[in-house]
Amino acid sequence: MLNIALFGPPGAGKGTQAQNIIEKYNLFYISTGEILRREIQRETELGLKAQNIISSGGLVSDEIIVQIIENTITQNPKANGFLFDGFPRTYIQAYILEGLMIKLNTKLNLLINLETPESVSLQRLLLRGKSSGRMDDNSQVIKHRLEEYRNKTVPVIDFYKNKGVYKAVDGSQTIKNVQIQLEELIKAEQKNILYNVVLMGYPGSGRGSQGIKLAKKYGLEYIATGQMLDQEIKKDSQLGKQIKILYENGELVPDEIVVKLIEKKISENQNKKGFVFKGFPRTLVQSYILDGLLQKFNSGISKIILLNVPNLKLIDRLAKRSKTDRCMPYDTDTSKIVKRFQEHEEKTLPVIRKYLEYSIFSEIDGDANQDEVFENLEKVIDL
């Protein structure tokens, strides 16, 4: 997810620049001012409450703002990211935004200030007032809006400077120049964002072979937890010894061990553009663990891709694999294959059901030749 807030005094050009950004980066636009004006037009209870405040150039209460932001965000769970215009406008609203981002398991990537002198703002708003029909685009109200900005909104800058997401652009330049600089800032930020793909599907659906190919093509690190556990056993490491005993007793490897391994792998590969996860998360608990792990690295899941293959095809594939050198210890025995399918259905299908609701979720027909499947995967990856 990419979340950006456009900041600056009234007349800085936030609305104008927003149009280009939302199209280019496919973000969901949230302009609190626009939402409030719509409420006023519809004469809703909220609109009636806000009307007098807006027409005098004051700021609407944080209580009203939190309601409209929360409604808009929760009504759009599939958004790729949000572009905020006119929010946060107070120090309290900055905290509100933090809370909402945590709830969405994401964060604000950039707060970009379109720095604009008051004289320029005044001039632009007076010009706009000739055609906008906005009740607050007249000189007396504009003066009060600028005053509110100075007193209540400017302190928000410090909040984000401290968090390291604050950027500034000279908003008095031409629309085109501001646009170019905004795009540069966003491009630079996109480079910092880890790209994390989760591959889901039954055993034999091709997650492994496709995952390795994906990782190679896009400069990602491939993380296959099953394989990682086997490697520890082969290395005969301390952890490997523990895992071996668990395997021998037919017990599951506890999440603590898997988490440690993944965390180590992520820390060791910070030079990579991101990660491809195969075989994790396997349970609902692990889906929360993955969110937490990625959050620790200031990141989140970018894409979840489910490879669909009919069950009979899966069995056929696994049987064929058992006759090759790619044969896994659990491929040889029918009862083990059945057990893995059951595990998938009991524990992993609930994770897939949860992910179905996410905007970053895609399904791909995995019942095609490897190259075709890979081409379809590439279409989903937006790197």
Which residues make up the interface to ligand AMP (CB under 6 A)? Answer: 10, 32-33, 36, 53-54, 57-60, 65, 86-87, 89, 93, 136, 145
How many Å is the Cα radius of gyration of the chain?
Answer: 26
Amino acid at 370: Q
Task: Name every residue whose Cβ is closer than 8 Å to that of residue 42 and which is 6 or more positions away in sequence.
Answer: none
Q: What is the DSSP string of 137-166?
A: -SHHHHHHHHHHIIIIITTHHHHHHHHT-E
Rounded distance between C-alpha atoms, residue 151 and residue 203, angstroms: 59
281 prior amide bond cis, ω within 30: yes
Task: Name every residue whose Cβ is closer than 8 Å to that of residue 362 and which is 6 or more positions away in sequence.
Answer: 303, 304, 305, 306, 380
Q: Which is nearer to ligand AMP, 126 or 315 (CB)?
A: 126
Shortest Cβ distance from residue 154 to ligand AMP (Å)? 14
Q: Which is nearer to ligand AMP, 63 or 333 (CB)?
A: 63
Shortest Cβ distance from residue 86 to ligand AMP (Å)? 3
- Indicate the Cα dihedral angle 177, 183, 185, 186, nearest 10°: 160
Shortest Cβ distance from residue 97 to ligand AMP (Å)? 10
Shortest Cβ distance from residue 355 to ligand AMP (Å)? 32
Q: Which is nearer to ligand AMP, 13 or 33 (CB)?
A: 33
Q: Which is nearer to ligand AMP, 55 or 231 (CB)?
A: 55
Shortest Cβ distance from residue 159 to ligand AMP (Å)? 14
The residue number whose beta carbon is nearest to ligand AMP equals 33
Shortest Cβ distance from residue 53 to ligand AMP (Å)? 5
Residue (of 274, 269, 294) closest to 381 by Cα position? 274
Task: Name every residue whose Cβ is closer than 8 Å to that of residue 93 and which is 6 or more positions away in sequence.
Answer: 62, 65, 66, 87, 156
Q: Which is nearer to ligand AMP, 69 or 229 (CB)?
A: 69
Q: Which is nearer to ligand AMP, 65 or 199 (CB)?
A: 65
Rounded distance between C-alpha atoms, residue 378 and residue 214, angstroms: 8
